[in-house]
Structure 1
Amino acid sequence: MGCETICFLLLFFFSILTIFFQLGARSLENQCYIRYAEVAREMIRSGDWIVPRLEGKLFLHKPPLIIWLIALPSALVGKVTPFFARLPSALSAVAVIALTFYLGKRMFRDFRVGAIAGLILLSSKEFFWQARTARADMVLTLFILFSLSCFYIAYQSSGKKRFGFFLLFFVGLALSALTKGPVIIFSLWIVALFLLFNRRLRVFLEPGFWWGWIVFLFLILAWVIPYLSRVEISTLKAEFALTHILSRPEPFYYYLIEFWPRFAPWSLFLPAAVLFFFKKNPEQQEERLFLLCWVGVILILIFLVHNKTYRYFLPIFPAYSLILSASLKENLLSFPFSKKEWLSRAWEYATWVCFFIYIISFLLAWFFVWWFTRSFTATLVTVFVSIGGWGLIGYALLKRELRTKIIVLSFLSLLIFETYFYFITREDDKHSPVKKIAEIIKFQVKPAVFYTFGVNGEEAILLDFYLDSEVLKLENSSQVVKALKETAKPSAILISQKGFEQVFGKLPPKTLAVFPITHYKKTTYFLITSKKK
């Protein structure tokens, strides 16, 4: 095997190892997301794979692809687990890293650009986090990267290869639309702007594009037509009017603040990326333009949208990683020192800032862990992690080579990320109060009929998920009294503290058993069961 193959395999297996480590060890309410997993659970139970539903109602927040990707492997074992819920994101993250490696090698004709870009991507904070979360954003990032990669290959090819990759570009668009709806405008605007600057808009008239639109419509309509045959348009409109899909309004400067922690530590290397674009290198003009269109179009579009979230950054990360990696290659290989002074300084300063932050973090970490946990085991783990971190920093300083410092910085970031996930997994019960409530309901009380009152939002969805059923919800105190007094079978109701205060005086205490359930030393719920007569 050549150096390129060995490098790719090392990056590939290292990505799998770091992303899949303890992937399913923590619950879905422990700094994760439950909705898609619950929709997938209801899809498996109902057998309806066309119309996604949440708590029995139409789920209109996202198209069904992310739900299918969770439900398909889960159906094989008969239930949705945290591992299967996060599996699409984890696999997509590994695929994104592999595609970034290939694209970097192809664009800059050096596999080291792809390898460093993949490592930068893996060790960026938000990318690593979203790779271990049951959300649609990493899957969307994969399909956007896939479609743009196919377009770039088609643009540089001819004949049947060009035609085939244009078709694959539209397959990527269709998969993006089935993952997150109208975000296909990202890829389309990037391509349009790139062709406009290159004065090649006639590409839109090629047969590959016309047939591509047919493939796109076929894939979309393959789901839309069966969906509309089962759900009336009037019902769809009524439900859509009640659904708060875009509910995250943020100020215009939101992304200017969020970028720095989300792409840490590599956000500190932004000056190096900017300098890279202003370097005059005729051999790389098309590559620079493509990456600039990629980053610029997505940034402009997400800035213009009133509803903002940091996850919208994610499709930019592969492009930014390629820009940084190409900047590093140019800094080390393309110019004599006198011509690369500013670019070299930008890298060096950012590297020293990162090392300084990590040194301080390792010095203080064990103290804060002991202060908050009072756990000898957790403190000991932190001490060993700190020693490992100092060892890596010492090695990088002794080598004095910039590429070595960048690789070490990647390993330091991953070491910290993995340690953080170890700690939140270790205290999973503390971060999973609804899971504990569900265990009490399942094992301590086994009523024939179970209801909730005053339990709403994410907590209600979590209860459905943990109990593997759609829990009946009571709307007012009169229904609670009726359910406990008149139900012939033993019944139980989980009531919030506010709801308990409303109904307790209306119920005869001798006929009820009350179990207070505490969370963080504060009573938040009561489980009330009717006694057998």
Structure 2
Amino acid sequence: MTGSKLRFWLCDVTLILSICLPLFFWRVGATPFYDKQEAREALVVWEINHTGNWILPLRNGDEIPAKPPLFHWLGALVSKSINRVDELTTRFPSALLATLGVLLTYLAGATLWGRSAGLVSALVLSSSHEWLQAAVAARVDMTLTFVMLCAFLFFLYLYRTGGGRKKALILGLLLGLATLAKGPLGFVVPCLTVLVFLWARRDLPFLKKLHPLAVISAWFIVAGSWYALALWQGGKNFLLIVIRENFSTVLGQEAGHPHLFYWYIPVLFQNMAPWSFFLLSIGAFIYYRHRMAEEAVLYIVVWFGTVFIFFSAFTQKRTVYIAPLYPALALLIGAWWQNLKDESLSSPPLFLARLAGYLNAVLFFLFSGMLFFQVINPDLIKHIYPFLRPKDQAQLQVVANLFTEHRLAVLFWSVLCGLGGIFLMLAVRKSAWGPIIGCTTALNVASLFFVQNFNLYVAREYSFKSFTEHALRVVDDAPLFFYRSGDYGVIFYAHRHIPQYRQPLGGKEIPFYLLFWENEWKDTLDKEGLSLEYASESADRQIPERGRLLLVRVKKAEALGNNFESDP
């Protein structure tokens, strides 16, 4: 590589990091856990650090984790390196892998189509809302996405270089790590993508060069070793968890987050906006491309389509499940941009690109107007309440209050989007595609930065962190139980196990404390011997009907009478 090329690459990497580091890392440890998902995974990291069990750490001392441990291992390594387990140490792996994923996408795009294609791919991916959401969450999804990204790209490299046994072993290793990230789908989805691609290329004989036995052997050693040890520790209960997590809750009646087959179509457009406006132009670019047989473009289209259709086929759906297709879409946008830059795009895709550019500008105009009118009329947002669930109404009201408290910041955001919309309109008229990409990236990054800051305030509003810290000062070393249903966030911030209360304690353990949800407290008729000590300031975010969380002191062993005996 010449000195000038190296300088350009360093400039690109610097630009990419200047986006990723503030978005993914800034104040990532300052936002408290306020939903069950992050705290649930963070508790497993806590158990690893406090029990030394790296195979099957039991959440709260008795609950087998539903997810394999790769993310938890990474979080535990970070936690041990600084000798604490908190929001920063459990979110750091996701932020780091998200950044590496963007850099890897840049490298792939630059290698396949040129430096500009790689840079645009990286800018699109790093400024996508869904990628950011996964990057700042203490969850397994970004770990799975990154390892699958490595597997997808490594197979393309393997295919272009003619295969080989050593490369097959590396591919098997990556598939094993993907399985340790979130289960068998980490193996199934990449393999399905490979088969569809080879079928489309009419090159199924390449499977022999892929050395499937070597791939499967490496995968089995990496993933199977943990599953065998976990089965040895967890026995039948672990096996039932694996079956339920990978089959019954995904395909059957027990499936959570059930949605229709086409649910991911609007989700993708929403979470990829405003880049999603260019999808029609990209589709036309692929359709009219005479070199569609080029393995790189075809493979990435197959990668995108396989992930999308695979997860659409399941009953259980969440927006983050399709995160592995975002790098593929970003790479397609990079390839499309390279053709725009080289002025080799035919008329239909070019017309659609212009149309998307104008829609992009209009989007920022509309968003600017919405922010402006919300600033001058804080009650404006209430007009959409009738169309929302009570849970969403409460959260939207919190956001509206934040907008009122930070009017100057919101006004600045509004002006920025408005001026950006004007600039985009002028740039589209002149077909200045470079400034269009740059301005869209800047506006998107700025908007995501504002959203991240407001999310911090929302988290503090709903988190039980301050409640738990105060409750622990009251409880001290006395026994503490959940009356019925618990909360992962409370357990995490308590830094101790909090079991569910099952039966009356002996007199030697009086007094002790119970954590009630407000609706449980209201339904408790016999309150003799009970003392309400403290209540949280906010209600439960995910189940508002439960109300606030209450700390109750039990002063007599016979308190509540038979109420405890009827607990589930």
Same fold (TM over 0.5): yes
Q: Does 1:493 align with 2:514?
A: yes
Gaps of 5+ in 1: none
Contact 1:58–1:239 under 8 Å retained in 2: no
Structure 1 stretch 31-40 or stretch 139-148: which is displaced more?
31-40
> Partners of 1:58 and 1:309 in 2: how far apart?
23
> Partners of 2:290 and 2:243 in 1: how far apart?
52
> Partners of 1:318 and 1:92 in 2: how far apart?
13
* Aligned partner of residue 362 in structure 1, secondary structure: helix
Q: Equivalent residue for 2:209?
A: 206
Q: Does 1:34 align with 2:39?
A: yes
Give, as a single letter, the amino acid of the residue that structure 2 aligns with 1:87.
F
Give, as a single letter, the amino acid of the residue that structure 1 aligns with 2:440.
L
Task: Please give the residue correspondences for 1:138-287 in structure 2 after superposition, counting only pairs within 5 Å.
Answer: 138-158=142-162, 162-183=164-185, 184-206=187-209, 208-232=211-235, 234-238=236-240, 245-246=249-250, 247-248=255-256, 249-282=258-291, 285-287=294-296
Residue 189 and residue 123 in structure 1: after superposition, are their counterparts in 2 closer, same or farther (change >3 A)?
Answer: same
Residue 221 and residue 354 in structure 1: after superposition, are their counterparts in 2 closer, same or farther (change >3 A)?
Answer: same
Q: Does 1:304 align with 2:303?
A: no
The CA deviation string for residues 360-399 of structure 1, in whole angstroms up to 9 with x for no partner, is 2223315425723277761111222333334444444555
Q: Equivalent residue for 2:111?
A: 106
Q: Equivalent residue for 1:364?
A: 370
Contact 1:146–1:172 under 8 Å retained in 2: yes
* Aligned partner of residue 126 in structure 1, secondary structure: helix
Q: Equivalent residue for 1:48?
A: 53
> Partners of 2:355 and 2:338 in 1: how far apart?
17
Q: Equivalent residue for 1:525?
A: 549
> Partners of 1:403 and 1:324 in 2: how far apart?
13
Contact 1:148–1:169 under 8 Å retained in 2: no
Identity %: 21
Residue 113 and residue 141 in structure 1: after superposition, are their counterparts in 2 closer, same or farther (change >3 A)?
Answer: same
Contact 2:467–2:536 under 8 Å retained in 1: yes
Equivalent of residue 383 in structure 1, options 411, 414, 438 = 411
* Aligned partner of residue 548 in structure 2, secondary structure: strand
> Partners of 1:51 and 1:322 in 2: how far apart?
38
Residue correspondences, number? 514
Q: CA deviation at 1:94?
A: 0.8
Q: Equivalent residue for 2:393?
A: none
Residue 486 and residue 500 in structure 1: after superposition, are their counterparts in 2 closer, same or farther (change >3 A)?
Answer: farther
* Aligned partner of residue 495 in structure 1, secondary structure: strand
* Aligned partner of residue 294 in structure 2, secondary structure: helix
> Partners of 1:412 and 1:90 in 2: how far apart?
21
The CA deviation string for residues 312-366 of structure 1, in whole angstroms up to 9 with x for no partner, is 221111111111221122133142xxx6222122112112112212122223315
Q: Equivalent residue for 1:62?
A: 67
Q: CA deviation at 1:274?
A: 0.8
Task: With the length of structure 2 as denominator, give the TM-score of the two structures.
Answer: 0.83
Q: CA deviation at 1:222?
A: 3.0
* Aligned partner of residue 515 in structure 1, secondary structure: strand
Task: With the length of structure 1 as denominator, give the TM-score of the two structures.
Answer: 0.88
Give, as a single letter, the amino acid of the residue that structure 2 aligns with 1:451.
F
Residue 317 and residue 443 in structure 1: after superposition, are their counterparts in 2 closer, same or farther (change >3 A)?
Answer: same
Q: CA deviation at 1:47?
A: 1.2
Contact 1:366–1:379 under 8 Å retained in 2: no
Two-structure CA RMSD over aligned residues (Å): 2.8
Contact 2:361–2:424 under 8 Å retained in 1: no
Q: CA deviation at 1:253?
A: 2.4
> Partners of 1:223 and 1:178 in 2: how far apart?
8
Residue 167 and residue 37 in structure 1: after superposition, are their counterparts in 2 closer, same or farther (change >3 A)?
Answer: same
Equivalent of residue 355 in structure 1, options 344, 361, 375 = 361
> Partners of 1:491 and 1:23 in 2: how far apart?
36
